[in-house]
Structure 1
Amino acid sequence: MKFSRGTNYALHTMLQLAQSSTPNKPIGVQQLAEQQDVSPTYLSKILTKLVKEGMVSSVSGVKGGYSLPYNWETISFLEIIQAIEGKASLFDCHFGHGPGCPIEQVMVEAEEKMEEQLRKMTIADLVKNKTMN
């Protein structure tokens, strides 16, 4: 199983914004992109998805950029991943066995456990752990 690069950049950008001295002050896409060595155009597309989901705020203009909303501490890894990847299941049994398929049952259970862990973890948890170390 592999998440897209977009998810990787989204998670790192959220952490980058959270670790800034003032998470609510906008940071330009150019600066965010340089710190991750990614194209600003590509990162803008990812940030657009995060803005649409309310996980990032954007401000236009010369002093504009992206920042975290007031409730950023509650945003989970799962929410960020789903903003980029969508909410479709990772596994889809194509054999038409229905809900009784034993393979699908194992895969769905595993995915539920992974989602549970990702739902518990927030970017704020990483920021707290870094300041404690």
Structure 2
Amino acid sequence: MKYSQATNYALHTMLYFVALPVGTTIGVQRLAELQRLSPTYLSKILTRLVKAGMIESTPGINGGYRLRRNKADLSFLEVIHAIEGTASLFHCADELDHRGCLIQQVMTQAEQQMEDYLKECKLVELVGQVGDVTSLV
């Protein structure tokens, strides 16, 4: 299985948000610098995270983005779904006979187990390993 690079950046971005003190705002430019990304590219990722209700945009001179949800609740799976969507990773071709459906059942069960695991993995569990977050903002 392979997730897009956008998911990689979204997970890292959300880890930064979770590591920051509650209510702290950080700009797209700073987030992009931390990950060595184009601010334009990161803005597209941030837009998806805003639409998913995980972060919010704050206007003004000290504006930027901040965490909208309770940091303890944010799972890897939510971030992945915000970027990749919720479609199944595997689909049998429609023209296959019943053997294809049996394969689909196995793949669906495996995917469900992976999603259950990612749902239980919370970003906040990694915060202690991020280091000093005061230098982020």
TM-score (norm 1): 0.89
Tell me which residue corresponds to 1:33: 32
2:86 & 2:27 partners in 1: Cα distance? 29
Q: Is the 8 A contact 2:53 2:69 kept in 1?
A: no
CA contact (8 A) 1:24 1:70 kept: no
Compared with structure 1, are the counterparts of its residues 130 and 44 closer, same or farther at alpha carbon in structure 2 (3 Å cutoff)? closer
- 1:98 to 1:60, Cα distance in 2 relative to 1, 3 A: farther
Distance change in 2, residues 1:4/1:34 (3 Å): same
Tell me what 2:56 maps to: 57
Aligned-partner Cα distance in 2 for 1:111–1:99 = 18
**Which range is displaced more, 116-125 or 95-104?**
95-104
- Alpha-carbon distance in 1 for matches of 2:79, 2:42: 14
Contact 1:76 1:122 in 2 (8 A): yes
Unaligned runs of 5+ in 1: none
1:76 alignment counterpart: 75
Considering Cα pairs closer than 8 Å and 6+ residues apart, tell me whether 1 or 2 has the greater RCO. 2
Contact 2:19–2:124 under 8 Å retained in 1: no
- In 2, distance between residues paired with 1:76 and 1:99? 35
> Which deviations, in whole Å up to 9, do the C-alpha atoms of 1:86-114 show, x marking residues without a partner?
00000011134469722111111110110
Tell me the number of residue pairs that the alignment of Structure 1 and Structure 2 aligns: 130
C-alpha distance in 1 between matches for 2:39 and 2:100: 46
Among the aligned pairs, what percent are the same residue?
53
SS of residue in 2 equivalent to 1:125: helix
Aligned Cα RMSD in Å? 1.9
TM-score, normalised to structure 2, is 0.86
- Any unmatched runs of 5+ in structure 2? 132-137
Runs of 4+ in structure 1 off by over 2 angstroms are 95-100, 128-131
